């Protein structure tokens, strides 16, 4: 039951086509469990960690249930931040690729309200918004909830942490009782269960339980890279490590095809394996991989499940996997049959949080490493080449070549120069260029509520730094605005942000000390409530 195929879920042809275009091969566990329940009309409480596909878990069935002939507002999705509202509406639009007449509109604080009012006037059947702004529109009557039949609370825990509880209750109280209510959250504290009790009817609990997973003894490292240098990073690591067989994981079929093409273009023996290939094609690829005429296999998680090759040297997570179970499955492909294996994972930007979650749940030690420089590669290539030369000398049978060298020496070239020129000819790579792999810094965050980092307690009792922001009651700033802006701009989960004091002309906010610098840099020149802000460490009182 863990992983279902979308084809087995009674979805429309249009939906299946759109899902396939998005490159999803099969449903993630939370999707496998939620979609049919939501399709059946029942309320749902869904719990699974971030990055496990919750958006599509409610998005796919919800969009299927909309009536395209009804132009009124039918569905309201509430989420904590502007970024998330935009992200969800983008995913919805992809899911709606083959359906016309369904309008989706994100509405969030920070965008001029007049523009939103105009957009709302044109009509939308689905809105995705932050609670504060949605309430604002409701009280202006620019958003009418009378005909809403579907409500989703996404990232409910985050919304409560950000102080949206009252807003959410006000909104839910105004939506007719004849509705389907879905709530998704990574955690289920008591306040959320209170909400579900008050606002849901006989909800089905869908939980993706994270098993204790043990990782075999595999050397695991990760590299923080920029998205656009991933390909270079992969090539460089392969050049450096010279693996016999490597398996490269991508999250979608499309990415597999793209990567294979790029690697082949650079002269690597790479081929792809995914669900769109015919069985005969797959067999052929696997045969080549097994007898080592193919060295680099690029695959999706689904396709890789059937791989029965024992001596894979390196597993690459070109894309960070959806959840920790995938991670375990993937790296379990190496280090088999008593051999030592290695797993290399690429992490882009905020994915570092997901990786930390994987580390926590799997208790895996994944160490950060820097990508090898051009000099490192040269060194390795030189060593390999020199060893090879020594081997050839030891083997003998060189008389034919000794004659060539002798004839060159009679032309006044020295043996030393001749040898050096041969080295250069073999080792010099005119195309080699230094690449800037260094990713932009992402603020690190430890959840001081879930598991207080020891570091904080040693520093002082809270480990928070007080920041000063030059807006306040005068600008009608509310705690939500501050949390939303800080979380949205810097990627720090809202619940990491501490106490907020709003005064007439300025605001104090406590943030975890070690991220202070990242926040100050990340918020530079940003706006809150339309005003360009100035943020700095608060002075001692």
Using the rule CB under 6 A, is 53 a contact of ligand ADP? yes
Using the rule CB under 6 A, is 28 a contact of ligand ADP? yes
Task: Tell me which of 33, 34, 47, 55 binds ligand ADP, using CB under 6 A.
Answer: 55
Using the rule CB under 6 A, is 170 a contact of ligand ADP? no
Dist. CA 237–CA 316, nearest whole Å: 10
Q: Which stretch binds ligand ADP (CB under 6 A): 23-31, 60-68, 217-225, 524-532?
A: 23-31
Binding residue count for Mg ion, defined by CB under 5 A: 1
Min. distance of Cβ 58 from ligand ADP in angstroms? 9
296: Cβ contacts below 8 Å, ≥ 6 apart: 238, 245, 246, 248, 263, 268, 269, 270, 271
472 neighbors 507 (Cβ within 8 angstroms): yes
175: Cβ contacts below 8 Å, ≥ 6 apart: 76, 145, 148, 151
Interface pattern 298-327 for ligand ADP (x via CB under 6 A) = ------------------------x-----
Min. distance of Cβ 109 from ligand ADP in angstroms? 21
Q: Which stretch binds Mg ion (CB under 5 A): 51-59, 66-74, 388-396, 494-502?
A: 51-59
Residue 322's binding partner, choosing from Mg ion, ligand ADP, none, with beta-carbon cut-off 5 to 8 A by kind? ligand ADP
Using the rule CB under 6 A, is 27 a contact of ligand ADP? yes
CA distances from 119 to 78, 105, 426 (A): 18, 8, 64
**Residue (53 or 372) nearer to ligand ADP, CB:** 53
**Residue (53 or 272) nearer to ligand ADP, CB:** 53
Binding residue count for ligand ADP, defined by CB under 6 A: 14
**Residue (184 or 222) nearer to ligand ADP, CB:** 184
Dist. CA 492–CA 518, nearest whole Å: 10
Residue position matching structure tokens 């606002």: 199
Dist. CA 410–CA 350, nearest whole Å: 64
Using the rule CB under 5 A, is 149 a contact of Mg ion? no
Using the rule CB under 6 A, is 333 a contact of ligand ADP? no
* Three-state secondary structure call for residue 128: strand
**Residue (466 or 495) nearer to ligand ADP, CB:** 495
Q: Which stretch binds ligand ADP (CB under 6 A): 20-28, 333-341, 380-388, 431-439?
A: 20-28
CA distances from 100 to 63, 68, 95, 125 (A): 12, 8, 11, 12
352 neighbors 346 (Cβ within 8 angstroms): no
Task: Tell me which of 9, 25, 34, 54 binds Mg ion, using CB under 5 A.
Answer: 54
Residue position matching structure tokens 């290939």: 277
Pairing state between β 150-153 and 180-185: parallel
Interface pattern 237-276 for ligand ADP (x via CB under 6 A) = --------------xx------------------------
Phi, psi of 43 (to 5 degrees): -70, 150
Min. distance of Cβ 54 from Mg ion in angstroms? 4
Dist. CA 484–CA 493, nearest whole Å: 9
Using the rule CB under 6 A, is 20 a contact of ligand ADP? no
**Residue (50 or 447) nearer to ligand ADP, CB:** 50
Count CB-CB contacts under 10 A for residue 100: 8
Task: Tell me which of 9, 15, 18, 24 binds ligand ADP, using CB under 6 A.
Answer: 24
Nearest by Cα to 348 from 222, 484, 435: 222
**Residue (19 or 535) nearer to ligand ADP, CB:** 19
386: Cβ contacts below 8 Å, ≥ 6 apart: none
Residue 81's binding partner, choosing from Mg ion, ligand ADP, none, with beta-carbon cut-off 5 to 8 A by kind? none
224 neighbors 347 (Cβ within 8 angstroms): yes
Min. distance of Cβ 300 from ligand ADP in angstroms? 8
Residue 52's binding partner, choosing from Mg ion, ligand ADP, none, with beta-carbon cut-off 5 to 8 A by kind? ligand ADP
Residue 251's binding partner, choosing from Mg ion, ligand ADP, none, with beta-carbon cut-off 5 to 8 A by kind? ligand ADP
Using the rule CB under 6 A, is 50 a contact of ligand ADP? yes
SS in 3 state form for 482-530? HHHHHHHHHCCCHHHCCCEEECCCCEEEEEEHHHHHHHHHHCCCCEECC
At residue 141's C-alpha, the angle toward residues 135 and 142, to 5°, is: 85
CB nearest Mg ion: which residue? 54
DSSP letters for 67-95 = -TT--S--EEEE-S-HHHHHHHHHHHHHH
Min. distance of Cβ 472 from ligand ADP in angstroms? 33
Using the rule CB under 6 A, is 362 a contact of ligand ADP? no
163 neighbors 483 (Cβ within 8 angstroms): yes
Residue 53's binding partner, choosing from Mg ion, ligand ADP, none, with beta-carbon cut-off 5 to 8 A by kind? ligand ADP
**Residues binding ligand ADP (CB under 6 A):** 24, 27-28, 31, 50-56, 251-252, 322
**Residues binding Mg ion (CB under 5 A):** 54
């Amino acid at each position: 039951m863990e992983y279902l195929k979308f084809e087995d879920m009674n979805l429309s042809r249009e939906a299946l086509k759109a899902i396939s275009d998005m490159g999803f091969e099969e449903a993630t566990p939370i999707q496998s469990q939620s979609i049919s329940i939501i399709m059946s009309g029942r309320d749902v409480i869904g719990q699974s960690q971030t990055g496990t596909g919750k958006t599509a878990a409610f998005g796919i069935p919800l969009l299927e249930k909309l009536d395209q002939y009804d132009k009124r507002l039918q569905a309201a999705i509430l989420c904590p931040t502007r970024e998330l509202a935009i992200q969800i509406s983008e995913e919805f639009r992809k899911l709606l690729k083959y359906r016309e007449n369904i309008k989706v509109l994100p509405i969030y604080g920070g965008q001029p309200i007049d523009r939103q009012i105009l957009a709302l006037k044109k009509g939308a059947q689905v809105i995705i918004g932050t609670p504060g702004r949605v309430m604002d529109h409701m009280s202006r009557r620019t958003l009418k909830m009378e005909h809403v039949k579907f409500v989703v609370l996404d990232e409910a825990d985050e919304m409560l942490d950000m102080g949206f509880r009252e807003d959410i209750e006000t909104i839910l109280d105004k939506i007719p009782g004849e509705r389907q209510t879905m709530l998704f959250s990574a955690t289920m504290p008591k306040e959320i269960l209170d909400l579900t009790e008050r606002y849901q009817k006989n909800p089905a609990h869908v939980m993706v339980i994270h098993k204790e997973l043990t990782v075999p003894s595999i050397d695991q490292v990760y590299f923080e890279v920029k998205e656009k240098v991933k390909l270079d990073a992969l090539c460089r690591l392969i050049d450096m490590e010279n693996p016999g067989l490597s398996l490269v994981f991508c999250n979608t079929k499309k990415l597999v095809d793209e990567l294979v093409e790029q690697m082949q273009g650079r002269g690597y023996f790479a081929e792809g394996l995914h669900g769109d290939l015919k069985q005969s094609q797959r067999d052929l690829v696997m045969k080549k991989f097994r007898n080592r005429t193919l060295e680099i296999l690029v695959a999706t998680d689904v396709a890789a499940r059937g791989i029965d090759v024992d001596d894979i040297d390196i597993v690459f997570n070109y894309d960070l996997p959806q959840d920790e179970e995938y991670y375990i499955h993937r790296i379990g492909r190496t280090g088999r049959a008593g051999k030592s294996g290695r797993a290399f994972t690429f992490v882009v930007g905020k994915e570092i949080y997901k990786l930390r979650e994987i580390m926590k749940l799997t208790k895996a030690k994944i160490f950060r490493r820097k990508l090898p420089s051009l000099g490192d590669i040269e060194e390795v290539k030189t060593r390999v080449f020199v060893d090879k030369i020594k081997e050839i000398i030891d083997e003998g049978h060189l008389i034919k070549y000794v004659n060539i060298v002798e004839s060159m020496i009679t032309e006044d070239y020295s043996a030393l120069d001749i040898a050096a020129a041969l080295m250069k000819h073999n080792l010099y790579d005119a195309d080699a260029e230094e690449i800037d792999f260094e990713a932009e810094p992402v603020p690190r965050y430890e959840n001081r509520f879930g598991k207080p980092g020891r570091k904080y307690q040693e520093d002082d009792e809270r480990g928070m730094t007080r920041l000063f922001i030059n807006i306040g009651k005068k600008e009608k700033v509310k705690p939500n605005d501050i949390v939303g802006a800080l979380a949205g701009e810097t990627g720090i989960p809202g619940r990491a942000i501490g106490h907020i004091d709003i005064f007439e002309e300025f605001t104090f906010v406590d943030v975890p000390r070690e991220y202070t610098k990242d926040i100050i840099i990340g918020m530079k020149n940003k706006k809150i409530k339309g005003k360009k802000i100035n943020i700095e460490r608060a002075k001692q009182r």
